[in-house]
């Protein structure tokens, strides 16, 4: 996990100090567990209330509708993705490369330590293909992640860390597919995928400099 300071909005969701916030968090954690165990189709407000040991009226006080519960769950899951990270890679001296390596480190962490996060995210994505309201929530959840990947790609191209013959939009789309694919298929070969991705994406100049550093050690 990262030692970074938790953003205020994440702390308000994940570490509430008031009773209402704690009760809301209990309901969100319960809904999270229900989807992880039973899939989106198993998400029922009455099931969540029963598991959380509150009456249905209490649940509806915090989440008047199932849609409100799903939106709250999306915020909860987003906060977890923002605050939970894999170990930081050894600094390479190239910001874009470090960001790329962090993505793979995060993916490994989620697979090994927080598999329910990936299960619930996959359930929301699949549900979104049939439900426009859920798809809107999924799009909002992935917006900042996509934005971060786009910024990494742009920095990598502008600084010569990534190959200059790459189209930024195409590269961004391919990387998003790689990251999403490793999350859905498992991490048995994640290290190999990370190394292959680096070999494919890095400029010859940067690869040569990295090789020289390795030879000097």
How far, rounded to the nearest angstrom, does the alpha carbon of residue 159 sit from its chain's CA centroid?
A: 26
pLDDT of the residue at 217: 45
Q: What is the pLDDT of residues 24-46, one digit of tens each?
A: 999 999 999 999 999 999 999 99
Entry pTM: 0.88
Q: What is the pLDDT of residues 93-145, one digit of tens each?
A: 999 999 999 999 999 999 999 999 999 999 999 989 988 988 988 898 888 89
The CA distance from 214 to 209, in Å, is 9
Q: What count of Cα atoms within 13 Å lies in the side-chain half-sphere of residue 93?
A: 6
Give the largest Cα separation in the chain, rounded: 67
Give the residue among 36, 19, 26, 156 at the shortest CA–CA distance from 99: 156
pLDDT of the residue at 4: 61
Residue 13 has φ and ψ, to the nearest 5°, of -85, -45
Q: What is the pLDDT of residues 179-197, one digit of tens each?
A: 988 776 666 788 899 999 9
Query: In this structure, are residues 113 and 29 in contact, taking their beta carbons and an 8 Å threshold?
Result: no
Contacts of 203 (CB under 8 A, 6+ apart): 160, 161, 162, 163, 164
Query: In this structure, are residues 201 and 163 in contact, taking their beta carbons and an 8 Å threshold?
Result: yes
Domains contained in the chain, CATH given: 8-82 (1.10.10.60), 89-216 (1.10.357.10)
- pLDDT confidence of 175, banded at 50, 70, 90? very high
Contacts of 54 (CB under 8 A, 6+ apart): 23, 26, 27
What's the 3-state SS for the chain? CCCCCCCHHHHHHHCCCCHHHHHHHHHHHHHHHHHHHHCHHHCCHHHHHHHHCCCHHHHHHHCCCHHHHHHHHHHHHHHHHHHCCCCCCCCCCCHHHHHHHHHHHHHHHHHHHCHHHHHHHHHHHHHHCCCHHHHHHHHHHHHHHHHHHHHHHHHHHHCCCECCCCCHHHHHHHHHHHHHHHHHHCCCCHHHHHHHHHHHHECHHHHHHHHHHHHHC
Mean pLDDT value of segment 69-83: 94
Token duo for residue 70: 């799903």
């Amino acid at each position: 996990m990262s030692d970074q300071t938790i953003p205020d909005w994440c702390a308000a969701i994940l570490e509430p100090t008031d009773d209402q916030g704690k009760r809301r968090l209990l309901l969100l954690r319960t809904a999270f567990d229900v989807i992880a165990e039973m899939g989106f189709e198993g998400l029922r407000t009455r099931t969540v209330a029963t598991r959380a040991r509150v009456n249905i009226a209490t649940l509806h006080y915090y989440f008047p509708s199932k849609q409100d519960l799903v939106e709250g769950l999306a915020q909860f899951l987003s906060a977890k993705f923002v605050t939970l990270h894999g170990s930081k890679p050894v600094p390479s001296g190239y910001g874009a490369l470090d960001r790329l390596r962090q993505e793979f480190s995060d993916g490994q962490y989620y697979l090994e330590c927080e598999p329910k996060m990936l299960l619930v995210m996959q359930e929301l994505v699949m549900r979104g293909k049939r439900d426009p309201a859920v798809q809107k929530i999924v799009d909002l959840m992935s917006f900042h992640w996509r934005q971060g990947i786009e910024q990494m790609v742009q920095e990598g191209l502008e600084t010569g860390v990534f190959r200059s013959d790459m189209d930024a939009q195409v590269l961004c789309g391919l990387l998003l597919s790689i990251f999403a694919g490793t999350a859905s298929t498992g991490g048995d070969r994640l290290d190999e995928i990370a190394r292959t991705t680096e070999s494919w994406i890095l400029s010859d100049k940067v690869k040569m400099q990295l090789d020289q550093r390795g030879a000097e050690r």
